[in-house]
Chain A
Amino acid sequence: MNWKEFLKAMLTINSLWFVYAFVMFLLQGRLPLNPDGNPSMTPDLGFNTAASFITNTNMQFYSGETGVTYLTQLFVITFLQFVSAATGVACAVALFNALKEKTTNNLGNFWLLLTKTVTRIFLPLSIVIAVLLAFHGTPTSFDGKDTVITMQGDTVQVSRGPAAAMIAIKHLGTNGGGWFNANSAHPFENPDYFTNMLELVAQTIIPIAMIFALGFYINRKKFAWVTFIVMTLGMLCLLVPTIVSEVRGSPAIAHMGIAQPTGAMEGKEVRFGPASSGYWSILTTVISTGSINSIHDSAMPLSGLMQLLGMMVNAFYGGCGVGLLNYFIYVIVAVFISGLMVGRTPEFMGHKVEAREVKIAALVTLLSAFLIKGGTAIASYILIYHPNANWAFKPSGWLSNPSYHGFSEMLYQVTSANANNGSAFNGLNGNNIFWNVMTGVIILLGRFLPIIGPVAIAGLLANKKYIPESAGTLKVDSMTFGIMTFVVIIIITALSYFPPLALGPIAEYFSMK
């Protein structure tokens, strides 16, 4: 398939999956495998959830216990968690094929790549992880809610379900949507420290493996290692301040004279602690999984800033396959700037990078900033000027926190939608028409345009005449070029996102000092 045929196939099947998911969510209340009698979704929530799961985002404005049925959890959500991740990997392999050949218009067969990715990577690994989770206490039952008497003597209803199978692909496919509302902070979804490590490894392994696969596939192992080092450096720049601020504890609590020997524990599980929760929060935001084992709304402002930056860059490992596509866009910009600096026509792996490729890369880069800042601006405007609008859910009820933190909650939600991450600052009440529709549209644009752009660039480059490397060729597998790419990522991110970050987490950080 050439790049146009490849993208046409990808978009066609994704459109069909969207219709299938949307219809199933609207009808789920009347369909079988619904022992708890959960209702169907409203059209706006169905639209958001369908968009969210076909795009590997897994933003959830519903509660897993009451908002979906076993049928939709298994045959819509879990199914889409497999195929949406495989779509990302297939598109990344199209890029590999373009870089591998000197001149070609064949990027591979989308259907073959999709099927092989599901059956030979995700299914076998998911089975192993699901079995390990089941043996550590994650439910795998089709029974409905169980009635339990607590130690206090209260009678409570505890949700169950065939959760282990879904939680395995939730992480392997960098999906992130939880079976339970509390996601991996729930004791059934992530019972102990072993499962915590297992889920951390599961959600990171494919994005990192894809970097090494690139090196083997195009026979440029040094380029893969440079890419891995740049991405790891970026991840560490976000991780270290997060762990330090979480382990130190909250300055607001310290001002009250209360000791915090175990760090900042608000919103965290005692069985995981602040360091592991901080590590999870950064990994889940850099690789676009969006699962949580602590509540990000309760994280320190500096940690919130790092989580936002992870999603804004969206290329430090990134999601399954799409992380590499995002990184490729930054590489094209870095190649272009390097070419300008030395006064030569930019070349990448033997192909001239010309105006058309750079324009596509620039558009994809600007699109994210436009969607994130535009979406947050619209939400802020409505909240400030129309707080009591005559809507079913008034804007004044959106936020649980005022001031800087409230702004961060909206910024985080829009950023998460654009990055196809899916996690949330849980203080935002998002299940209403405005947030369901706005984030649904942003999710779709934030998924497909950043896939179409890099695959189109790859197809255009691969069609060009191959230029053999010479002494004057830019060495893209050198550490110097790696640093150049890293600097380009920092400059683009800083220029694009400093104003909203200053209004949210940065202002909150200084207000707590």
Chain B
Amino acid sequence: MNTELTGVVATFLLTVLLAFPLGKYICAGSTQPKK
């Protein structure tokens, strides 16, 4: 069961770790309208 819980925690942390740079990318160029 501990392995299962570790999997859950690892999955969430991995998501946040990847979401942060993706958020920066979304802001930087992908959706910003032209002035």
- Given known A-B contacts A112-B33, A205-B15, A279-B11, A213 and B4 have beta carbons under 8 A apart: no
**CB of A294, distance to nearest CB on chain B (Å):** 13
Q: Does A275 contact B (CB under 8 A)?
A: yes
CB pair B31–A275 under 8 Å, yes or no, is: no
Central interface residue in B14, B15, B26, B30, by most chain A CB within 10 Å: B26
Count A/B pairs, Cβ under 8 Å.
Answer: 94
* A97: nearest chain-B partner, CB-CB: B33
CB pair B23–A204 under 8 Å, yes or no, is: no
**CB of A321, distance to nearest CB on chain B (Å):** 10
* A92: nearest chain-B partner, CB-CB: B31
Docked Cα-Cα span, A53 to B35, in Å, equals: 33
Contacts of A201 in B (CB 8 A): 11, 14-15, 18
CB pair B8–A279 under 8 Å, yes or no, is: yes
**CB of B15, distance to nearest CB on chain A (Å):** 5
CB pair A213–B1 under 8 Å, yes or no, is: no
CB pair B33–A109 under 8 Å, yes or no, is: yes
Residue of B10, B11, B15, B31 touching A113 (CB-CB under 8 A): B31
CB pair A213–B27 under 8 Å, yes or no, is: yes
Q: Does A208 contact B (CB under 8 A)?
A: yes
Residue of B5, B10, B33 touching A108 (CB-CB under 8 A): B33
CB pair B7–A197 under 8 Å, yes or no, is: yes
Contacts of A263 in B (CB 8 A): 1
CB pair A121–B26 under 8 Å, yes or no, is: yes
CB pair A209–B26 under 8 Å, yes or no, is: yes
Residue of B1, B30, B33 touching A121 (CB-CB under 8 A): B30
Q: Does A434 contact B (CB under 8 A)?
A: no
CB pair A213–B15 under 8 Å, yes or no, is: no
User: CB-CB contacts of B19-35 with A at 8 A, as 1s and 0s?
Assistant: 11011101111111110
List 5 additional A-B contacts (Cβ < 8 Å) besides A117-B30, A121-B31, A197-B7. A108-B33, A204-B12, A217-B27, A274-B4, A276-B4
A residues contacting B by CB (< 8 A) are 89-90, 93, 97, 106, 108-109, 112-113, 116-117, 120-121, 193, 197, 200-201, 204-206, 208-217, 224, 243, 247, 263, 273-276, 279
The 8 A-B pairs with the shortest beta carbon distances in the complex, nearest first, are A212-B23, A216-B27, A208-B19, A275-B4, A108-B33, A209-B22, A213-B26, A120-B30
